[in-house]
Structure 1
Amino acid sequence: MSTHTASHRADPAGIATTPSAAADGAPPHLDLEQVGAFAQQVGMMLAGGATAAMMVVGDRVGLYAALAGSGPVTPAGLAARTGTAERYVREWLAQQAAVGIVRHDPQTGTFVLPAEHAAVLASDDSPAAMIGAAPLVTGLHRRTDELAEAFRTGRGVPWSEQDPAIFESIERFFRVGYRNSLLSEWVPAIDGLSDRLHDGATVVDVGCGRGAPLLLLAEAFPASRFVGYDVHEGSVEVARRRADEAGLADRVRFDVGDAHGFADRDVDVVTYFDAFHDLGDPVGAAAHARAALADDGRLLLVEPRAADDLATTLATVPLAPISFAASTFLCTANSLSQPVGLALGSQAGEGRLTEVLHEAGFGTVRRAAANDFNMVLEARV
């Protein structure tokens, strides 16, 4: 036991202070209301992280899909519908009720998933679907040790070393946005692009991942030809399988390749779907794309929505919290693992991206379209 005899007092929160606290540079007192309020805020953040894991489980075993449109259901009834164990389902429903995802009726012991909530969580086919983002959070948690080491060394973390849940989540979540906006908003926003694709164009997509946007384009424009490149072999294999399953393999090709190595020339359109900011050398990649384009070709960048300054981004971008987290774990880390390592980050903003494209030799850059999640930049020589 300590024999220190200096006088101590404890504040109502149990935080001990000493007469020397102010002299040591610590604040002389704390605003306990602010401490309590922030503690509650942190508790909600932690609850969000835990809930993301519960969302992944609910999605995996079909609980959300079974709840959608079912009306009030007991834990035993939901377990019977999904072939799951009632005791686990009971605990899962209690947690979902605690965060407001489902509603609990204490009189009947039933739970219900409101239709508006089901639109967000029960199916990837919904225009409002966000359940595909849940595995992203799971994947980030599995790479905390690697990222902490990267903080200490400054080295990057290659995309190929991310958790497999990341690749699943990127495809599922981003595909919703592409399905909602690519054909109805973004293609029409580019002068003459729809006609060109209808007549027959050559499109190269760099950083194609599992190929979701390219397959949407190929299905809509059967006269055109499409090639996708990605450095991650596993994603390319999935993209090829998706093309075969959709009956599009005769018009869509997916190959392993990087932004600086593809040999295609006289290309009508080069696209980057949420991938340009991940590159180590985006200036060099854009210059390579410019060399691949036909004289009247254009480069299209689909990038996360962001302002040109941090304060505006924080105030106006709804997904800024998760975007900056993903950028830290994935985008910035991936860029730093490559030569040059410019590390634009996912929230680079239109101004910075325009600077990069001008430096690569593009004369005209404009914002063609934007929504709550993405902005589309068009660049021409």
Structure 2
Amino acid sequence: MTIRVIGAGLAGATVAHLLHQAGRRVEVLEGDPTWGGQLRTASAGGILYEPAGAHIFHTSDTAVWQLVTGLVEMLPYRHAVRTEAFDRVLSWPPQLSELRELPQWATVERELASRPAVPRADNFESWCVGLMGETLYHEFIEGYTRKQWGEDPKNLTAAWAPKRIELREDGYRDLFRDPHQGWPSGGYPKLLDALLREVPVVMGQRVTIDDWEDVCAGADAIVVTCALDEFFASHLGALPWRGVRLVNHYLPGVDHVLPCGVLNTPSPLKPHTRAIETKWMSGQTEPGTVVSYEYPGAPARHYPIDDVAGANRALARRYLDELAALPGPPRFVAGRLATYTYIDMDQVIRQGINTARRVLEALG
């Protein structure tokens, strides 16, 4: 008997690896011609870059870090982000020590003094304004959000804002505070290759509800990591996603162009949301660099859209209920696509660890 995993992205690869390590027979079915999902690393003139967007590994989950570092070498990279604001390049998240030097500080100071004790969580905009005031919100957040999500910020939920938006006064300029941070030597395909090296994978075979009987044949359990609306042919409606496309510029003979790995561009006058220079992450020292400009609105499943009314989340739950109601062996879900959640890589791996554990417990 076999455990079948649908999808060979980071979630599916983690589940498959751990089940194989536990002595179970595993088979992975991947719709794309290659595995790895959005974890792509390419090369131009020997310089590594990420054609599907920047991925920065950071975690406070020791078990996740031990799993990853047991498979690949992680370079000691700590992620710093800057943003174009007030006609300057400033830290992200914003630092009060820098803001005090701005001509607009008097206005910002008044707005900060009048903030509520707790930001209102009516929607994404109300929470951000409650945290930092109107001026900082409009300069740092509003334009970026409208470009990135293609929505009025009032239509987005505030649920994930506390995890992503800060106003700092402690001088700490790395984006993440997690104790474990790094970037895989040679790029992310090294990690996916290590996870799947000993696992049978069928690539180029997209699985939908029409294939369910075949997927279940001879299977002890099914793990689904693909997008459920796509799996069910969107018969309840399509789940809204926001995608990005990257335009990559190879620049020979140049060391670095950006001041750090990522430079945010919140201005609505510029169509891209940020610029990425992976050479900061890879630690390469040879001449040449690649700067990638990220444009939102591509037809890809990068970010689920959490609307303030919760309609998209409710639709995702209906698809989960449909999956649970299908006949056949026990089935489990993991990963960003199947759970319709905006999560970081370490959270994806944690879901993979937990799912593998649940599968083993169910099968005894």
Report the TM-score range of the alignment, normalised by the length of the smaller protein: under 0.3
* Greater C-alpha radius of gyration: 1
- Which structure dedicates a bigger proportion of its chain to helix? 1
TM-score normalized by structure 2?
0.22
TM-score normalized by structure 1?
0.21
Which of 1 and 2 has higher RCO (CA within 8 Å, sep 6+)?
A: 2
